[in-house]
Structure 1
Amino acid sequence: MRDDTAPTFLSSTVSAPAAYFLREIWQAVGGDPAHLSHLTIEGAGALPSTFHVTDLAGAAVAAASLSVAELASLRQGKFPAVQVDRRLASFWFLTTLRPQGWSMPPLWDAVAGDYRAADGWIRLHTNAPHHRDAALAVLRTHAEREAVAAAVKQWQAAALETAIVAKNGCAATMRTLAQWADHPQGRAVNAEPLLHRSSTAGGDRPHLPLSAGRPLQGIRVLDLTRILAGPVATRFLAGFGAEVLRIDPPGWEEPGTVPEVVLGKRCARLDLKNPDGLRTLEQLLARADIFVHGYRPDALARLGLDSTRRRQLNPGLVDVCLDAYGWSGPWSGRRGYDSLIQMSTGIADAGMRAAGQDRPTPLPGQAIDHATGYLLAAAAVRGLVERLQTGRGCEIRGSLARTARLLVSGGNQPDDTEAPAPEQPSDWSDLVEQTGWGPARRIRPPVAIADIPMMWDLPAPKLGSSAAAWLADKA
């Protein structure tokens, strides 16, 4: 049960739900509670939801920013103040990009969405062609929404979910909070820590570059993540100077999300099934400081890059891994996305009931993804802090399902909660970003750290637009 008592070390501007979330996140990343005294979260309003989504947004952004401030304090000798704007944090949990003269592609494939089955609701996630093919093969129909809806009605929701997952597709039955709590996977996830963290033998303390104004400048981040939590984490790291190199396979595209999440990064392609591609990845990994990956747990092992091999290549590595449904239980390793997690864990059902609707009512935006992204970013930077202090590397594992549990454990939001003030052009950055798709503006960063600007050195590029090499190796 949630403890609503705000810790005395938090600023009085932090709401009780945000204080709870922040305490849980900061403890999960191994942070010193005393550092919370340097933080304020300001602003009014909350995104419409039965859950405290805006409080989670503010707390997650705050924890990641506090970790950057802690890293900076190692160079500065003092801990800089951190200020988070909860309204802007809410916007960053939705979308930051404001195209100028062009439009973002649709976020969802034409087949993706919620469907009424014979006994309830199920969500099909079909954005990736192979996931769409799996669902259509089970339903024995073509990629037309009305035909899919008619086919789904012939199935029991849980049976259809099982059949699609068995075909390596992605689907989720809508369950209630109580049903998820009683489900074997729900019980397993709820018994897990918010993050799994362990130290690994590293050696001598490294001499990592520490810039007073850009604390992550010179830090190399190898990014093997896709939609959406991992890219949010690495986008945050790039905002404080990290060199982020994202690797995608040949032909992979995410037209509805890539312009949003590749800000500040370079993007390359490697075929990891090719020995040369795998060799290049190993060379990159050996010189990385942080490795963020969202492959299914056995995928890297099948490539010969399991945890032991990664540690051989780079003993001091901060190794950050993400999955969907948790690291234990019968669904560990199961494919999943934010929208599916919300269906499985009871969030979409609770939203439907609270709003008096007759269909699944999810959170505003992909809030579980975003929160998990900032949680992983906080853990990664704290891993750097501990590496500087001890020389040891670390392994960090998070999951969308466990972050969903954190949100639900924060309780329900009052029905009469004031909405944030509407977005205004003054909320946009003054800079015009020349993305790979055309000019755009961004929502201003949601955090201010004393004398440490959050800014990105590179505009959002198209996937595969850079070489698979660290910048110093190209010089």
Structure 2
Amino acid sequence: MTLLTALPAPGSYRLTGTGHWRSAFAVTELANASVAAVGLELARLVKALNLAPVAPDVTVDQRLASFWFSYSFRPEGWELPSLWDPVAGNYETADGWIRLHTNLPHHRQAALKVLDCAGDRAAVAVAMKQWQASHLEDEIVNAGGAAAAMRSRAAWLSHPQGLSVAAEPLILWRSPRVIQLRERPKATAERPLAGLRVLDLTRVLAGPVSTRTLAGFGADVLRIDPPGWDEPGVITDVALGKRMASLDLRNTADRQRFEALLSKADVLVHGYRPGALDGLGYGADARRRIAPNAVEASLDAYGWTGPWALRRGFDSLVQMSAGIADTGRVQAKADDPQPLPVQTLDHATGYLMAAAVLSALATAAQGAAVPAAHLSLARTAELLGGMQKCADGPYVAKPAHSDFTQEIENSGWGPGRRLAAPLALDTSKMRWGQPASHCGSAPACWPE
């Protein structure tokens, strides 16, 4: 079986629904194709495991796929906390624009230390005017923060990192090995991932989207965070169907527990920057020794090669770096950056990551060697940059009541409704067995 390397052809799946995001880029088209990739790779796995005589057909609802690229959960009777730290956002510098990502306390502290100003937007805006954008970007990144100067598409495509990313495949498959899939007697054509143990070491947002997707078809997803970790405004969206545990990987007892969990995992998904797990003693060799039969997928922000391969990054920053926000500015005839209407790079990469896991599992089921999958937000940005817009129907803005399921989801924060699933197979529909819950709310163990 051929491993996933590209988006599926439009005619390979059934498309229903209409509507698309208003954007200079093919946002809805990428939503359709990345969600479809999950369905098609799952269909191949169903066939490879002999859960059905033929690979089932795949259907994607374009309207719902578009909305799942935004927030999937709507609270009832309460409000979600803000996604953004007050200092985060776009600022004008002496020669252009820059974006700060300060949702994590240490990223905020790094930016304010470099700017040498008070921690409020007004003070930051004044301090910004004293800097050139690219110089400030470098200083904040070198201080351990997260920032991105706005570049044009032409500037990015000629930048050393842009050149490196463009030369990478959409999914970088490395280090193939033969693995033995564990028997999963609960797996059926209806719930093809039932009993699949997925160890989730990811943070906002692409990685959690991938594991949420796998949970939708029955996988047992166990997410591990550091003690006290939280992602306000995000967890309600991406913790769906998962058990959320915490371990301190610098603590001996917790390390032993983590290694026991990893040894029994069927899939490991992580979003650490290249080399970060090595620093904890869990480099590629150690992971393979502990879990020789686990499929592995990982992602980073700026790609796996080039001078920025180790750089911290997020969807909103990559949009600035890769010329997406500037292209939107030009099309809108605006002065300030105009990003995509949703965090497209995160969501598309998340679905492609889930599809890569399924592709690897199907390959293993046929006895072939399975490499580890590596994806990045920057490479997904290049994919988006080359796509043509063709989606039909009216522009979408926010979902209607009818776009949500009628069942109440009693999340760890309060009741709400979840968007109806955007993807279905003839034999299987997405559904989640448990509501979204707080980080650290479950024990660090696999279900019996």
TM-score (norm 2): 0.95
CA offsets 1:430-473 (integer angstroms, 9 cap, x no match): 2100000000101100112113121000000111000111012x
Return the offset for 1:80: 1.1
The aligned amino acid for 2:19 is G
3-state DSSP of counterpart to 2:113: helix
RMSD: 2.0
The aligned amino acid for 1:258 is I
TM-score (norm 1): 0.90
Return the offset for 1:67: 1.3
Determine the structure 2 residue equivalent to 1:376: 353
Tell whether the 8 Å contact from 1:188 to 1:329 is kept in structure 2 after alignment: yes
Determine the C-alpha separation between the residues in 2 that align with 1:417 and 1:65: 23
Unpaired runs of 5+ residues, structure 2, are none
Determine the C-alpha separation between the residues in 2 that align with 1:36 and 1:181: 27
Determine the C-alpha separation between the residues in 1 that align with 2:316 and 2:426: 36
* Matching residue within 291, 296, 313 for 1:314: 291
Return the offset for 1:297: 1.3
* Matching residue within 410, 432, 438 for 1:456: 432
Identical positions, percent: 51
The aligned amino acid for 1:321 is S
* Matching residue within 51, 63, 78 for 2:54: 78
| 1:379-394 to 2 correspondences below 5 Å | 379-390=356-367, 392-394=369-371
Return the offset for 1:391: 6.1
- Residues 391, 317 of structure 1: CA spacing in aligned structure 2 closer, same or farther, 3 A cutoff? farther
Highest RCO, 1 vs 2 (Cα 8 Å, sep ≥ 6): 2
* Matching residue within 415, 425, 441 for 1:465: 441
Determine the structure 2 residue equivalent to 1:299: 276
Tell whether the 8 Å contact from 1:348 to 1:360 is kept in structure 2 after alignment: yes
Determine the C-alpha separation between the residues in 2 that align with 1:184 and 1:165: 17
Tell whether the 8 Å contact from 1:205 to 1:391 is kept in structure 2 after alignment: no
* Matching residue within 419, 430, 446 for 2:406: 430
Determine the C-alpha separation between the residues in 1 that align with 2:167 and 2:320: 20
Determine the C-alpha separation between the residues in 2 that align with 1:367 and 1:421: 15
| 1:11-30 to 2 correspondences below 5 Å | 29=4
- Residues 422, 326 of structure 1: CA spacing in aligned structure 2 closer, same or farther, 3 A cutoff? closer
3-state DSSP of counterpart to 1:375: helix
Return the offset for 1:31: 8.3
Q: Does 1:325 align with 2:302?
A: yes
The aligned amino acid for 2:309 is S
Determine the C-alpha separation between the residues in 1 that align with 2:368 and 2:310: 31
CA offsets 1:8-41 (integer angstroms, 9 cap, x no match): xxxxxxxxxxxxxxxxxx98715897x9865112
Determine the structure 1 residue equivalent to 2:240: 263
Determine the C-alpha separation between the residues in 1 that align with 2:31 and 2:10: 16
CA offsets 1:321-364 (integer angstroms, 9 cap, x no match): 10000001000011000000000000000001001111100001
3-state DSSP of counterpart to 1:76: coil
The aligned amino acid for 1:466 is A
Unpaired runs of 5+ residues, structure 1, are 1-25
- Residues 49, 283 of structure 1: CA spacing in aligned structure 2 closer, same or farther, 3 A cutoff? same
Return the offset for 1:59: 0.5
Determine the structure 2 residue equivalent to 1:249: 226
Q: Does 1:43 align with 2:20?
A: no
Determine the C-alpha separation between the residues in 2 that align with 1:32 and 1:402: 13
Return the offset for 1:242: 0.1
| 1:95-106 to 2 correspondences below 5 Å | 95-106=71-82
* Matching residue within 107, 116, 119 for 1:140: 116
Determine the structure 1 residue equivalent to 2:102: 126
CA offsets 1:29-67 (integer angstroms, 9 cap, x no match): 15897x986511222221010001000001000001111
Tell whether the 8 Å contact from 1:247 to 1:268 is kept in structure 2 after alignment: yes
| 1:169-188 to 2 correspondences below 5 Å | 169-188=145-164
Determine the C-alpha separation between the residues in 2 that align with 1:291 and 1:101: 37
3-state DSSP of counterpart to 2:433: coil
Determine the C-alpha separation between the residues in 2 that align with 1:299 and 1:174: 27
3-state DSSP of counterpart to 1:343: helix
Determine the C-alpha separation between the residues in 2 that align with 1:189 and 1:30: 15
3-state DSSP of counterpart to 1:370: helix
- Residues 139, 308 of structure 1: CA spacing in aligned structure 2 closer, same or farther, 3 A cutoff? same
| 1:395-434 to 2 correspondences below 5 Å | 395-411=372-388, 418-420=394-396, 423-434=399-410
The aligned amino acid for 1:284 is L
Determine the C-alpha separation between the residues in 2 that align with 1:412 and 1:118: 35
* Matching residue within 81, 90, 93 for 1:114: 90
Return the offset for 1:79: 1.5
Determine the C-alpha separation between the residues in 2 that align with 1:31 and 1:88: 22
Tell whether the 8 Å contact from 1:315 to 1:393 is kept in structure 2 after alignment: no
Return the offset for 1:84: 0.4
CA offsets 1:137-162 (integer angstroms, 9 cap, x no match): 00001111000000011000001000
Return the offset for 1:281: 1.2
- Residues 126, 398 of structure 1: CA spacing in aligned structure 2 closer, same or farther, 3 A cutoff? same
- Residues 295, 205 of structure 1: CA spacing in aligned structure 2 closer, same or farther, 3 A cutoff? closer
Determine the C-alpha separation between the residues in 2 that align with 1:99 and 1:286: 37
